[in-house]
Amino acid sequence: MSTLTPFHLAIPVTDLELNRTFYREILGCSEGRSSDQWVDFNFFGHQLVIHYKAGDSEETVHNPVDGKEVPIPHFGVVLSMAQFDLLSARLKEKNVTFIIEPYIRFQGLTGEQATMFFKDPSGNALEFKAFKNMDQLFAK
């Protein structure tokens, strides 16, 4: 599989400092440039920018996937299994509340993967996953 180009994602947050701490201290993302309205992070090799937005986040809806209610919208990254295991242990140690606890999705099928979902302090849903076989990332 070829190396993927890093993406850039900007998301709204209702409390810049609370989310800054979450992404830095809970997820372990290193901080880049910032202002009083936004903060850049190295989000597992990708650029994530949290932008202050006054008011509540939009309501989250769900779609069923493998018998679980997956929040829409959501974002995240694909990790190696070792990275996934380390991150899930870190999140449990930090008492993060999961929407969907870490588990193996599509077990024994094409695209078998570890996955977990949780929200940042502003209600943005995040998914982290790791494939048993990375060659099946886009398999049908």
CB atoms within 10 A of CB 140: 5
Measure CA of the first residue to CA of the last residue in the chain; give whole Å. 16
Q: Which residue ranges form the domains of the chain, and what is each CATH number?
A: 8-54+62-136 (3.10.180.10)
In this predicted structure, what is the pLDDT of residue 20? 97
Look at 44-58, 78-92, 115-129 and tell me which has the smallest mean pLDDT.
Answer: 44-58
Cβ–Cβ under 8 Å, residues 50 and 29: no
pLDDT band at 1 (very low <50, low <70, confident <90, very high): very low
In this predicted structure, what is the pLDDT of residue 133? 92
Q: In terms of pLDDT, which residue wins out, 57 or 15?
A: 15
114: left (phi over 0), alpha (psi -120 to 50) or beta: beta
In this predicted structure, what is the pLDDT of residue 2? 52
Does 4 have pLDDT greater than 80?
no
Mean pLDDT of the chain: 92
C-alpha–C-alpha distance, residues 100 and 59, integer Å: 18
Q: What is the pLDDT of residues 59-101, one digit of tens each?
A: 668 888 989 999 888 999 999 999 999 999 999 999 999 999 9
pTM summary value:
0.88
